[in-house]
Amino acid sequence: MQSRAQADETQDYWILLIASGSVTALMTAFMPESYAPVLLQRKARRLRARTGGDDLEPLLIRKMSRKEMLLTAIVRPTKLLTRSPIAFLICAYVATIYGFLYLLFTTIPTVFEEAYGWESRDTGLAYIGCGLGMVISLLSIMKTNDATVVKLTKRNNGQYEPEFRLPATIYYAAFVPISLIWYGWSTQKHTHWYACNAST
């Protein structure tokens, strides 16, 4: 027979499945296609139907066997990762941050149950700090990132470079160790649960 904690955990997974399944269904039904080769294929199909020209084919479309497609899908990202230092460094940074965040997310239920005595069904509320932090950071990035890109493009004689979106990363990256140290310290010292939640 399932314990109460296992039953609550199972219920949490069902809630996640229902929420993510609903969002996926809505996205599948209502999000427009944006992949250029597919859009060009559809346009070529319409033009063939309208003009009767069977030779109309989009230039981006290459006839490839499944084996060639699989090989391209494996080789291209590997080349990008190994031959571009900026891509490698960004991937290493993002992988490290993802590892830290995963570690943080997996410790939250244990911390709030054992250190603060919350019931397992209430520990989901501890993720509110993470959610608020994501909203605040997104609003901040939306406010500052485009302005930074415009300023750097003007300074570069009107020539845009994708790397112009990266300088803010230096400042935002500092928040990760600060929040992790804050989280660990407040947990170890058993401060009020709000301090621990605010750190996330």
pLDDT of residue 8: 62
Residues 137-153 have a mean pLDDT of: 88
Measured CA to CA, the distance from residue 167 to residue 152 in angstroms comes to 10
Measured CA to CA, the distance from residue 43 to residue 37 in angstroms comes to 10
The DSSP output letter for 165 is: G
pLDDT band at 116 (very low <50, low <70, confident <90, very high): confident
Measured CA to CA, the distance from residue 115 to residue 22 in angstroms comes to 35
**Nearest-CA neighbor of 162 among 74, 90, 75, 81?**
90
* pTM as predicted: 0.62
pLDDT band at 2 (very low <50, low <70, confident <90, very high): low
Residue found by looking up tokens 């239920």 in the block? 109
Q: State yes or no: pLDDT of 24 exceeds 60.
A: yes
Q: Are 41 and 33 in contact (CB under 8 A)?
A: no
pLDDT of residue 124: 83
pLDDT of residue 27: 92
Residues 1-29 have a mean pLDDT of: 79
pLDDT of residue 15: 85
pLDDT band at 96 (very low <50, low <70, confident <90, very high): very high
